[in-house]
Amino acid sequence: MALQELTYRDALRKALADAMTENPDVVILGEEVGRYGGAYGVTKDLIKEFGAERVIDTPISEPAIVGAAVGAAMTGLRPVAELMYVDFIGMTMDQLANQAAKIRYMFGGQIGVPMVLRTQGGTGRSAGAQHSQSLEAYVMHTPGLRLAMPATVADAYHLLRMALTKPDPVVFIEHKALYTMKETVDLDAEPLAWGKAAVRREGRDLVIVTYSRQLHYCLEAARQLSARGVEATVIDIRTLNPLDFDTIRAHVERTGRAMVVSEGVMTAGVAAELSARITEECFDFLEDPVVRVAGEDIPISVSTALEAGSVPGPQLIADTALRMLAGRVPA
């Protein structure tokens, strides 16, 4: 296939369409996924191609959507359930955390739940406190759930395609600010394996570990740092479960310094878990404490300025790196 320009949204839609073409057991269900095309347009026109029996508009009930997907997966289908916002995942925690995540174990491996739960999170649209959260730590905390959070157009396609081959439930969180991002991609190129982190930039001075939209902020921060003589390695973990800690470890041991950047809140968040693990497993190689850069422990404001100030941005990331390297960087 020749190089093509796609948006993040286009790549997700193509992944769903390709999977549905190849496997008649793949079905989509959720609020307004059919005739309306999904809250963010990812499933637009799929109902025309695959029909209402495979692209199913449901009542406005998140527990019903996820519960139906769990049952469908247990009985032979590969459902893709869509939640409009990750903020609503709490309503589904019995179905997701008590059922989908535990059925393989409770049935002694005789049956699994091969479903994908697609949803989106994060800030960037002034959607307010109940529609702007980053709740991936809820999922990461639950054994039995896989978790993918693509940051690039190519990964939006490939990770979703891979998720639809897994024998266990995958929560697939898209960032609402990335849907219109465009990249020129070759979707026939061999992708990184499921569960493998991507080293997006290499540098000698510190490692920045991140995922989802924060990858782009970290890369911008790395460019700012390079202009000051600081070269940062930026690692995009891509999947939080499974987590490719071997790649993180290798680069932390090489540079001796690590920062973890997440849009989720600081307290008990993904950044806290990764920072603790780096400290435990790389302690003998660290020159300085691991630093977290994460969201404020506050509800997200509808105010554009307050919203932007409540999560990490390129300047905060760069400034934090410079403080870590104070005395080693020319003024």
What residue type is assigned to position 296 of the chain? E
In the annotation, is 216 catalytic?
no
Residue 252 CA: distances (Å) to CA of 61, 206, 286, 290: 44, 7, 7, 10
What residue type is assigned to position 59 of the chain? P
**Count of C-beta atoms within a 10 Å radius of residue 253:** 15
In the annotation, is 281 catalytic?
no
Report d(CA 270, CA 278) in Å as an integer. 12
Q: Is the separation of the CB atoms in 278 and 302 below 8 Å? A: no
**Of 31, 62, 82, 263, catalytic:** 62
What residue type is assigned to position 252 of the chain? V
Token pair 């980053």: residue: 134
**Count of C-beta atoms within a 10 Å radius of residue 108:** 7
Q: What residues contact residue 171 under an 8 Å CB cut-off, 6+ apart?
A: 96, 116, 117, 119, 139, 145, 146, 147, 148
Report d(CA 228, CA 99) in Å as an integer. 51
Render 70-81 in DSSP notation, one character per residue. Answer: HHHHHTT-EEEE
**Of 31, 131, 136, 175, catalytic:** 131
Burial of 110 (0-12, 13-18, 19+ CB in 10 A): exposed
Catalytic amino acids?
Answer: 62, 131
